[in-house]
Amino acid sequence: MAKKSIEILDTTLRDGSQAATISFTLRDKIKIALLLDELGVDYIEGGWPGSNPKDYEFFREIKNYHLKHSKIAAFGSTRRKDLRPENDPSLSSILEADVKVAVLFGKTWTLHVKEILRTTLEDNLSIIADSIQFLRDHGLEVIFDAEHFYQGFKEDPDYAIRVVNTAGEAGARVVALADTNGGTLPHEVLEITRRVAENTRVKLGVHMHNDSGTAVANSLMGVVGGARHVQGTINGIGERTGNADLIQIIPSLVLKMGYRVLKNEDGLKKLKQVSSTLYELAGLHPNPFQPYVGDNAFTHKAGVHADAVMKNTRAYEHIDPSLLGNQRKVVISELSGTSNLVNYLEKLGIKVEKKEEKLKKALKAIKEMEARGYSFDLAPESAMLVAFKEMGIYEKFFDVQYWKVINENGLALAVVKVNSRVEAAEGTGPVHAVDVALRRCLSKDFPEIERVKLTDYRVVLPGEVKNTESVVRVTIEFNDGERSWRTEGVSTSVIEASIMALVDGLDYYLQLNKKLKPLVAKE
């Protein structure tokens, strides 16, 4: 028997862009749409043409691309109470967007009908029916979003169900029950959705907000209650506390509830990449604790967990991380036993015994650094350098004798002396200038460092007092085309901390290539 399927409507470009601090350019929007099509969502809600002129450009521009999986939908409200559909600006703007699918929202909650819309309950039903009929007459597929459905149902269940059936009879293909203020709890969603499903023949969807911290759960409970269409956004971005996070919903629907979801059969494996690209475009730091795709989602820190996971991955992992393009990590920290450190060294090809004395010394040295403000969870390769030194497998390839920075309006200049060689360089900022000068010094002896690129740079202010006087921790990620590594520096100066991380990053690369690779090969 074929598995039942659930439709996905992504509203990252519309509801997601209502998040505080988020603003997408036209180019961002196109990039996101192509990513969503690649993922294989059924519908991409591209924007609200009536409210935002930038959204028109999106609908025009996206026509130049061939989408493999997804249909583009335009969002808008039902007609105004005093206008005929053909004269209504919101409905016209949907037609102007020239799409095949419209997502139309209307009122369900009697409070909103009376106090926000200021009309009668019967008139609201006519508004909904008229507006849907008008778009159907113009050849559009219509998805109706019943705004504030759950609040509405609690106050007047009969009216809420009449709204659903009115929309269905007027030709809406799906009616999505929206928890617009996010106040509904999962057991209520389950019960209410079930009752609606028993009283209607139209296909039901859900549209959840996260104000109670349960948007993901509410979406799943909606499905348990009978919904077969789920709306949400990538990473749950959206107004206030955000929308339901599709990145977290889709794996549970597929891997745990057995539904067929996403038109691209390999879509699931792309979730981590889609999530991180979206964070980049939204200008947000990725959430390392995000379920399924976060960098820490399969990270084991406590010694006992790390130990058990090595014995049997099912012991502390609910699913296989590679199914979502994620991977297992074991971190080094003050809670970690030697298992974690051994795990790291073994990945580098260095075999050590768990009870070896120098391993314990290395762990102790790492823990002491952490007590001084380092956090090696973020930058394990800085911890590795400490371990190499304690274990006697470190070789000093270069020595930074001094660095000087001049940073004046428009000019960032660095002078660096390394291994008795002095080099100067300008940069777009002081850290960049030091980076260039440092590489100039080193590239004569170590031309291979030209392959090393900086792929991420973060400034974190740990501790209690956050002002310009406090200590900062800078983490830098490097990549040489084959692997990534991260190092860090801690100082009261952003520049100094950056340079410490920079030096560690290049040093680690040289240790790996000049010292360890030959060492491992010899054994």
Q: Which residues ranging from 478 to 517 are in contact with a second copy (CB under 8 A)?
A: 492-496, 498
Residues whose CB is less than 8 angstroms from the CB of residue 88 and which lie 6 or more positions away in sequence, other chains included: 79, 80, 131
The answer to whether 85 and 94 are in contact (CB under 8 A) is no
Task: Name the nearest CA neighbour of 48 among 103, 108, 112.
Answer: 103
Query: Tokens 């203020």 — which residue?
Result: 181
Closest to a second copy by CB, 213 or 349? 213
Q: What is the DSSP letter of 44?
A: E
Q: Which residues ranging from 177 to 216 are in contact with a second copy (CB under 8 A)?
A: 180-183, 185-187, 190, 210-214, 216
Is 56 among the residues that bind a second copy (CB under 8 A)?
no
The answer to whether 203 and 230 are in contact (CB under 8 A) is no
Q: Which residues ranging from 350 to 379 are in contact with a second copy (CB under 8 A)?
A: 370-371, 375, 377-378
**Segment near a second copy (CB under 8 A), from 46-54, 92-100, 159-167, 340-348?**
46-54
Q: What is the DSSP letter of 100?
A: S
Is 21 among the residues that bind a second copy (CB under 8 A)?
yes
Q: Amino acid identity of 139? A: G
Is 420 among the residues that bind a second copy (CB under 8 A)?
no
Q: Which residues ranging from 148 to 177 are in contact with a second copy (CB under 8 A)?
A: none
Task: Candidates 171, 430, 489, 505: give the one binding a second copy (CB under 8 A).
Answer: 430
Q: What are the structure tokens assigned to 222, written together?
A: 């909606």
Is 232 among the residues that bind a second copy (CB under 8 A)?
no
Task: Candidates 305, 366, 487, 511: give the one binding a second copy (CB under 8 A).
Answer: 305
Whole-number minimum distance, CB 405 to a second copy, in Å?
5
Is 89 among the residues that bind a second copy (CB under 8 A)?
no
Is 405 among the residues that bind a second copy (CB under 8 A)?
yes
Is 111 among the residues that bind a second copy (CB under 8 A)?
yes
**Segment near a second copy (CB under 8 A), from 193-201, 237-245, 356-364, 416-424?**
237-245
Is 314 among the residues that bind a second copy (CB under 8 A)?
yes
Distance between CA atoms of residues 31 and 34, nearest Å = 5
Q: Radius of gyration over alpha carbons of the chain, in Å? A: 28
Per-residue CA distances from 499 to 117, 243, 351 (Å) = 59, 40, 32
Closest to a second copy by CB, 202 or 254? 254
Which of 308-311's residues contact partners 24+ apart within 8 Å by CB, and which partners?
Answer: 310/339, 310/343
Whole-number minimum distance, CB 206 to a second copy, in Å?
14
Q: Which residues ranging from 22 to 41 are in contact with a second copy (CB under 8 A)?
A: 23, 25
Q: Max alpha carbon distance in the chain (Å)?
A: 86
